[in-house]
Structure 1
């Protein structure tokens, strides 16, 4: 794990286990990476490019990479030279621009660790018409997240974004109905801070994404309180369902949670790594069908934004719909 990823729009993960459209021809399975400032870039490349790569990774190979990448986040910038050198040993060509990258590949992994750059970089990919996965966080603001999805719609390009925590085995089982309707859930993850990003956007997103995997969309109000070494965010969903996220500042809490359903209670267990996410990315590249809706990802970012707003007013409840409405108004002013 890199330590630096609306009522009525709920989406079941069940389609993930169904058959997808026929795979692309072998010569159309060339993947390009934008951003070599995160260990995800290397980890994903090692999985896709392995000589014994499993068939459920779709036959995709990373063939080219554009290194940049964060410009002013030291923990990210410092990684670029070493990761650039290492990824070349995996058969990946280094290019000097996103435009050069797009000439060599069919699909894109936008891995830049700095969410502030994602809108600008994604727009260049969208204009090329190439399918793209955008790693967490999809952006460093709710406004940019909305703008990214609006741009994808404008250019008719498939896009999705997710933390790998969404694909913890028991989280998927809960989403697929193992314990019936979920009445509430508690999740936790590290929530270390990066000054360039709102508090939860940088790393707390992992636990928030887990919470949304369990609860689905439809959160109405958000309250955030601070306890020693952690922030606790409480969301109230329709029907009085409660979901909580605890983000620890030490970064040593691990990842997990518990879901409370009409037919039982299930602990999430331990984090299982990147592979389940990569399988979903391969399916997405083949089908062009995002396994996570734009609406759900946008609501996740609205939840985190509302948590920040609640912090500013001493933990009082904030309307998630009001935060969404404001974000949409501001996103409409961005030229895409």
Structure 2
């Protein structure tokens, strides 16, 4: 298929999605090995759910699963059974078959490594796509996903649900004016196949960038007094953002108009609302540049660790991954 045909098919498919947006969107899920799968499906498919989001329904899925990650291997069958038996979701053997029967897609695989391969047929089919955290198994893969999506003019985005905590959103909307300093915490359990913060620390990093925005230039990684991960980022204009590993989701933002707590988790529904809105409008709520910077921040933290806590620029890790 040449580039012109690829773009034409993408445009035709997205036009079909826009037409379907007035009715109920048919959602497909890829990777049924995370608790997000039954949670998101219940929010969309169950009108009795207090957090129900109308306008879309999960109708099809590809099971997926990673046998070298216990939390995937040990849960994928149970979550798959729930979707099929409780929500009447149809299983497909391949992503290529799935995308023929849905209007938009959630990639939910808990393992970020297969996300690029899973995203390619979705993008080729022109279907709007939300990719759950981590967006990919590496910054290089994430850059390629965004490159393909841009070329095909297909809306693709990624986010943690922590971005949509009410407190963080208020600060992002300007309640403190320009934010000059922020610190966030979240659990940061490690998974050997991913950069340290990709697996769970991404939640706190997402909140940090929600209030700080883009513009982080460098990162230094150290440890808290009790030996937990601590990553300090320097932003343009002398602003500072810090992520710390901790048991809970907390944080503080300081700005021109004062300070406010941030970091609280307010459920999955606000994220699902944004995903469906993006599918309906074709406008993503989080720009690729911001997601790329979050991933670069986390990879720079690993590079800083390898160098004994030395300062590492995001430009360096982006260049290494093939970005600008």
TM-score between the two structures when normalised by the length of structure 1 = 0.87
Distance of 2:109 and 2:263 partners within structure 1: 29
**CA displacement 1:60-106 (0-9 Å, x = unmatched):** 00001111022321111111111111111112112222122112101
Q: Cα gap change, 1:99/1:54 in structure 2, threshold over 3 Å: closer, same or farther?
A: farther
Q: Cα gap change, 1:100/1:184 in structure 2, threshold over 3 Å: closer, same or farther?
A: same
Structure 1 residue 197: Cα displacement: 0.6
SS, match of residue 221 in structure 2: strand
Matched, 1:207 2:215: no
Q: How does 1:44-193 map to 2 (within 5 A)?
A: 44-52=40-48, 57-88=53-84, 89-193=86-190
Root mean square deviation of aligned Cα: 1.8
Distance of 1:245 and 1:269 partners within structure 2: 11
Residue in 2 that maps onto 1:241? 239
Distance of 1:151 and 1:51 partners within structure 2: 36
Which stretch of the first structure deviates more once superposed, 315-324 or 50-59? Answer: 50-59
Structure 1 residue 237: Cα displacement: 0.5
Structure 1 residue 155: Cα displacement: 1.7
**CA displacement 1:13-38 (0-9 Å, x = unmatched):** xxxxxxxx9971325x1000001100
Structure 1 residue 51: Cα displacement: 2.6
Distance of 2:79 and 2:274 partners within structure 1: 24
Given that 1:224 and 1:307 are in contact with CA atoms closer than 8 Å, whether structure 2 keeps it comes out as yes
Given that 1:102 and 1:125 are in contact with CA atoms closer than 8 Å, whether structure 2 keeps it comes out as yes
**CA displacement 1:115-155 (0-9 Å, x = unmatched):** 00000000011111100100000011111111110011122
Distance of 1:52 and 1:327 partners within structure 2: 45
Work out which of the residue numbers 20, 24, 30 in structure 1 matches 2:21.
24
Alignment coverage as a number of residue pairs: 305
Distance of 1:170 and 1:287 partners within structure 2: 26
Q: How does 1:226-237 map to 2 (within 5 A)?
A: 226-227=223-224, 228-237=226-235
Which segments of 5 or more consecutive residues in structure 1 lack a partner in the other structure?
1-20, 332-336
TM-score between the two structures when normalised by the length of structure 2 = 0.90
Residue in 2 that maps onto 1:15? none
Given that 1:32 and 1:62 are in contact with CA atoms closer than 8 Å, whether structure 2 keeps it comes out as yes
Distance of 1:254 and 1:84 partners within structure 2: 29
Given that 2:168 and 2:263 are in contact with CA atoms closer than 8 Å, whether structure 1 keeps it comes out as no
Given that 2:207 and 2:263 are in contact with CA atoms closer than 8 Å, whether structure 1 keeps it comes out as no
Distance of 1:82 and 1:231 partners within structure 2: 33
Given that 1:34 and 1:69 are in contact with CA atoms closer than 8 Å, whether structure 2 keeps it comes out as no
Given that 1:118 and 1:138 are in contact with CA atoms closer than 8 Å, whether structure 2 keeps it comes out as yes
Distance of 2:37 and 2:147 partners within structure 1: 26
Ranked by relative contact order (alpha carbons within 8 Å, sequence separation 6 or more), the top structure is 1
Given that 1:167 and 1:276 are in contact with CA atoms closer than 8 Å, whether structure 2 keeps it comes out as yes
SS, match of residue 168 in structure 2: helix
Matched, 1:291 2:285: yes
Distance of 1:273 and 1:207 partners within structure 2: 15
Q: How does 1:8-23 map to 2 (within 5 A)?
A: none
